[in-house]
Amino acid sequence: MRAPTMPIAVVQFAPQPLNPAANLERISAKVAEAHAMGAKLVVFPELACTGYVEHTDLHKLTEEADGPIVNALTKLSRRYGVYLAAGFVERHDGHVYNSLSFTSPDGKASIYRKRHLIFWEHFYFRHGQDPLIVETELGRIGFAICADMIYHHIWSEYRGKIDLAIISAAWPRRTPQTAFRVGWMLEPSWSLAGELPSRIARDLEINVAFSNQCGPCQVRIPHLGGATPAAFAARSGLFDHLGNRLNVESDLEQISLETASIPEERLPCVTLSA
């Protein structure tokens, strides 16, 4: 039986680049805080465990799905009795993936691999191939990472099959310091970071939990010189099945706890026979 409501904590987070130990310590503290607020599901951004950096040093931090990072996240899920989504750099069958770990209170872990790499991400990762749907008592949950949310076929595969989408992102935006050749690409990013999750929720008539990184970052284009300053777009939030944002936005780290409802017609029916 699926629960009619879901207390969801969306964590807007600024991880320390290339420092998984420090990030896991902070993730643990935020999961404890979200649990104290009443959350049953806690969502962190893309690559929350390592930080999102365009550098081959990320490859030094790769782990298998049964490695220390996912094991630590699984222990947090069991300790606090919550579902937990957080990004990490995965090594699988000799390839490196931008992956999202989804751990359950019963100790199970599921892995989603980012399917749509954009621009220079192809220098660092291999693209994933498969959607992921996890059945929980909170509802049927589907997953996407950052640029995945742009593509129609991603959501066509989920249509009618999920009650909630989790989108973890490191979606960037320009700043006054962003160089021109990068700045023009990032010009629409800030608005899209807030609009796309709302459109997806409205189109599929589902709830959407969107967790994005916040704070400064650098954009590095391979073979075209050094990095240029930018920032993550923030705009994390929970959106209901009508596309309404349920939380107040901030540019800073925050935990937004909101309760999403599954539309009554999507709840399973129980038939009693004599």
Quick check: is 138 in a domain? yes
Q: Give the range of the structural domain holding residue 168, as residue numbers without chain letter.
A: 5-266
Q: Which of 154, 181, 153 is nearest to 167 (CA)?
A: 154
Confidence tier at 6 by pLDDT (50, 70, 90): confident
109-113 β-sheet, strand order: 109-113, 95-103, 83-92, 41-43, 5-12, 254-261
The pLDDT, as a whole number, for residue 272 is 42
91 falls in which pLDDT band (50, 70, 90)?
A: very high
Whether residue 14 is contained in a domain is answered as: yes
From residue 59, alpha-carbon distances to 23, 123, 161, 197 in Å are 17, 11, 34, 30
Domain assignment present for 248: yes
**Helix (H) or strand (E) segment spanning residue 87:** strand 83-92
- For residue 154, give the nearest of 115, 108, 194 by alpha carbon: 115
Confidence of residue 265 (pLDDT cuts 50, 70, 90): low
Residue 274 lies in a domain: no
Please report the DSSP string for 54-72 in residue order.
-SGGGGGG-B-TTSHHHHH
Rounded mean pLDDT of 131-140?
95
Match 């777009």 to its residue by tokens.
233
**Which CATH number fits the domain that encloses residue 58?**
3.60.110.10
pLDDT in tens, 236-260: 999 999 999 999 999 999 999 999 8
Tally of domains within the chain: 1
As a whole number of angstroms, the distance between CA 17 and CA 61 comes to: 11
Task: Supply 132's token pair.
Answer: 């992921």
Within the chain, how many helices (H) and strands (E) appear? 5, 14
Q: Is residue 86 part of a domain?
A: yes
Residue 272 in any domain: the answer is no
Single-letter residue type at 112 = Y
Average pLDDT over residues 124-151: 96
- Residue 145: its pLDDT value, please? 98
Q: Give the mean model confidence (pLDDT) for residues 37-58.
A: 94
> Mean pLDDT over all residues of the chain?
91
Q: Is a pLDDT exceeding 60 seen at residue 224?
A: no
Residue 148 confidence (pLDDT): 97
Tokens read off for 211: 């967790």
